[in-house]
Structure 1
Amino acid sequence: MNFIELLLLAAIWGASFLFLRIAAPEFGPFALIALRVGIAALVLAPVLRSAAAGSQCRGKAWPLFVVGISNSAIPFGLFAYSTLYVNAGIDSILNATTPIWAALIAALWFGQAMNRSQVCDLMLGLAGVAVLVWDTAGGGVAGMPLAIGAALLAAVCYGFAVNYSKRRLAGVQPLVVAFGSQLAASVVLLPPALLSWPQQAIAPSIWLCVAALGVICTGFAYILYFRLIERVGAAYAASVTFLIPVFGLVWGAVFLNEKITPAMLAGCAITLLGTGLASGKLSDLLPGKHKKLA
């Protein structure tokens, strides 16, 4: 049961890049992501029915604000921009580099020690990124290199948010973190969203993509993610990172006719292998490992 939920979560988060790819050209990054986090905040708002949750939300307002910026507002916006030029599948692979940046930030910024094996594994992951970027950027499409850089910067932001949350939000209810961060991101993104709001009429199908991004890919996905953490632990839930690119590539190919090249598959495999070895999470994908908790 837990592995099925993990696959469902990966499928949902993989689909988020599909919806971004469809809706971003119509709304633009600011308006689209403001809607995404605003809808997600409404979905998660019932968490405040608990007095303890409300107290934590007020007491940790600043850390929640920082996480809202670094884990939602900025990276969501960067990925929305990136999907204007980059395939959904490629963005989903670049998103999977988050553990690499999290480990590097932990070592360089927060002083966490890394052994030689971890360094080698991270270098392997970065080599996979290089293969993917070389193949993608070589297409000669205007704006492609900047879009790839934006996606990688988004993953760096996620890496920072992981380390910051561990240190500043330890002990806070996970759904409080989810709601508070989405609310903070909504507040920050509202002004630029209003200034860049699309002038043209938006088709109902595009609005459905926006609704799916906010309700399913953010609000419901957070609930599912934190339920997995509660039942089987953070390491197992975080292993979803290595499944998201599979669905990102599949959804892009099926619904947007995106090509999957051998270089993309090679870059994806090398990146995920290096990242998985460095983080020690590859074994967490084995369903039997957590059978007793299912």
Structure 2
Amino acid sequence: MRNQIFGYLLLVLLAAIWGASFLFIKVALGTVTPLTIAAGRIGLAAIVLASVARLAGHGLPPRGAHWPVIIAIALLGNVIPFSLISFGERSIDSSLAAILVSTVPLFTILLAHFLTNDEPLNLQKVIGVAIGLGGIVLLFGPALLLQLGSQAMGQLMIVGGALGYALSTIYSRRLRALPKLQSSAAIMLVASLFIVPAALIVDRPWTLAPDPAAIVSIAILGLVATALAQILVLKILETHKASFLALNNYLVPLFGLLWGMVFLAERPGPQTATALSVILVGVFISQGGASKVRAALRNGRSRRGA
């Protein structure tokens, strides 16, 4: 019972941290460019995770088939989404970005059907994905899509980041043979080798004039929202299944919405709450939530009958 309570506390803490990452990106964008924010975040996280892995006795993974997968995950799960989300938040609210990223499990289910042999789509998944994608359309709004202005482009960038996360989730299954801390550190180190030189060349960050809030925000993004969050993920997975960790899909957008409203005075449009509800219902159905509820009710009735 104590482990279960501790697991839920870690889960809520993780969701609060990940939900706040959109807030800190928005703050940093006041005086720092998107690519430099992503580079600072990844670079700091790489240093921390590599140090923790070394203290735990892990070096770099051996040469072999793991490295192409590590490189792919570094790009799809870190470099591309961190950059796209930072670019996207230049024109949309942080709370809206958090809601759009909550579509990751929908894209994961859809892509897994085509990229894996053991996770085909079934009727329940199709219904859930269709409902969730309908929530995205509701969030965009037909008028916004037709105009395709800066806000629509910002939203599309966030969705692109969510697609990157989904692809990296699928590819990460190929690293099951490696210790999770070792693979996490290697992925972040590789990501830093791509993003840091790119930011130095494109942004020339030494020409920027970041204010203290931006510097603190980038530090929090790297040390807390990326490095510490990854350590929390590994800690949760020590005692709980991946399905338990997946509950974050429902909590992160709620925290993202909350932090944006409280600290940035964001006021989401009237369709935002409806769209979020539709997306979360889609995630719930696509991940077998309805079947689990029915099974739990049947078990409860059978116990009462006994």
The one-letter amino acid of 1:258's match is E
Q: Which moved more, 1:107-116 or 1:132-141?
A: 132-141
Report 1:262-281 matches (<5 A). Answer: 262-280=270-288
Q: Which residue of 1 aligns with 2:192?
A: 186
The one-letter amino acid of 1:77's match is S
Q: Which residue of 2 aligns with 1:229?
A: 237
2:132 corresponds to 1:128: no
Report 1:82-231 matches (<5 A). Answer: 82-111=88-117, 112-134=119-141, 137=144, 142-166=149-173, 168-195=174-201, 196-198=203-205, 199-231=207-239
Q: Which residue of 2 aligns with 1:253?
A: 261
Q: Name the SS of the counterpart of 1:26 in structure 2.
A: coil
Give TM-score scaled by structure 1 length: 0.90
- Structure 1 stretches of 5 or more lacking a match? 286-294
Q: Is the 8 A contact 2:31 2:211 kept in 1?
A: no
Q: Which residue of 2 aligns with 1:66?
A: 72
2:9 corresponds to 1:11: no
1:67-110 CA distances to partner (integer Å, 9 max, x unpaired)? 11010000010000011011111110110100111111111233
Q: Which moved more, 1:105-114 or 1:9-18?
A: 105-114
Q: Which residue of 1 aligns with 2:297?
A: none
Q: Which moved more, 1:59-68 or 1:242-251?
A: 59-68
TM-fit CA distance, 1:226: 1.2
1:109-129 CA distances to partner (integer Å, 9 max, x unpaired)? 334311112101110111111
The one-letter amino acid of 1:91's match is A
Question: Partners of 1:144 and 1:255 in 2: how far apart?
Answer: 21
Question: Partners of 2:71 and 2:289 in 1: how far apart?
Answer: 29
Task: Work out the number of aligned pairs and report it.
Answer: 283
Question: Partners of 2:143 and 2:282 in 1: how far apart?
Answer: 20
The 1:165/1:266 distance shift into structure 2, 3 A limit, reads same
TM-fit CA distance, 1:50: 4.5
1:166-208 CA distances to partner (integer Å, 9 max, x unpaired)? 1x21222222222111111110012221121342321122100
Q: Is the 8 A contact 1:89 1:252 kept in 2?
A: yes
TM-fit CA distance, 1:274: 0.5
Give TM-score scaled by structure 2 length: 0.86
Q: Which residue of 2 aligns with 1:291?
A: none
Question: Partners of 1:160 and 1:50 in 2: how far apart?
Answer: 28
Question: Partners of 2:112 and 2:211 in 1: how far apart?
Answer: 44
The one-letter amino acid of 1:24's match is L
Question: Partners of 2:109 and 2:23 in 1: how far apart?
Answer: 28
Q: How big is the alpha-carbon RMSD for the aligned residues of Structure 1 and Structure 2? A: 2.2
The 1:25/1:86 distance shift into structure 2, 3 A limit, reads same
Question: Partners of 2:28 and 2:168 in 1: how far apart?
Answer: 26
Question: Partners of 1:120 and 1:42 in 2: how far apart?
Answer: 42
Q: Which residue of 2 aligns with 1:56?
A: 61
Q: Which residue of 2 aligns with 1:40?
A: 45
Q: Which residue of 2 aligns with 1:24?
A: 29
Q: Is the 8 A contact 2:89 2:97 kept in 1?
A: yes
TM-fit CA distance, 1:145: 1.1
The one-letter amino acid of 1:48's match is R
Question: Partners of 1:25 and 1:136 in 2: how far apart?
Answer: 28
TM-fit CA distance, 1:217: 0.3
TM-fit CA distance, 1:22: 1.2
The one-letter amino acid of 1:217's match is A
Q: Name the SS of the counterpart of 1:86 in structure 2.
A: coil
Question: Partners of 1:254 and 1:276 in 2: how far apart?
Answer: 27
Question: Partners of 2:72 and 2:208 in 1: how far apart?
Answer: 33
Q: Which has the larger radius of gyration?
A: 2
